Amino acid sequence: MSFSAEDDTLMQAALELAREAAAAGEVPVGAVAAAGGQAVASARNRVEERHSVTAHAEIELLHELERLRGDWRMDDVTIYVTKEPCAMCAGALVNARVGRIVFGLADPRCGGCGSSLDITGHPGMLWHPAVEGGLRSDEAGRIIREFFKRVRKGD
């Protein structure tokens, strides 16, 4: 797949949010929403902070977008997320009618955008966003590996 310079810039912003999440003790996932080529909202994982299983970066981002836009329909929005969305997040992105999802690191164990499950491409879904993975996957993977290495050591 070929990604644009704009895609790369927006994923870099998502990676910075993943680093912020890691520093806060959260699983390091960051997400940025763009419309018309401009970043319009951003979020990171806040599961521990909010004591909420649904406080994944993508869900936090959708809530912010809904607040900013006054609507739940996101067909003109591209979501950049550092790790492939899980089943919950992929389903929420489909239901929000997000136009495009760009992720970094694939998640073959429980990714919901084609690696393990294909929620975004399931024929029964009423909406099918464009999905592209692998943008800056090495960097996203390094951030996640370093986080879990530190967590396992108890640092």
Which residue has 């009618």 as its token pair? 97
139 is catalytic: no
Q: How confident is the model at residue 1 (pLDDT cuts 50, 70, 90)?
A: low
Which residue in 48, 49, 58, 84 is the catalytic one? Answer: 58
pTM: 0.96
Q: What is the pLDDT of residues 12-70, one digit of tens each?
A: 999 999 999 999 999 999 999 999 999 999 999 999 999 999 999 999 999 999 999 99
Kindly give, in sequence order, each residue whose CB lies less than 8 Å from that of residue 63, ignoring residues fewer than 6 positions away: 43
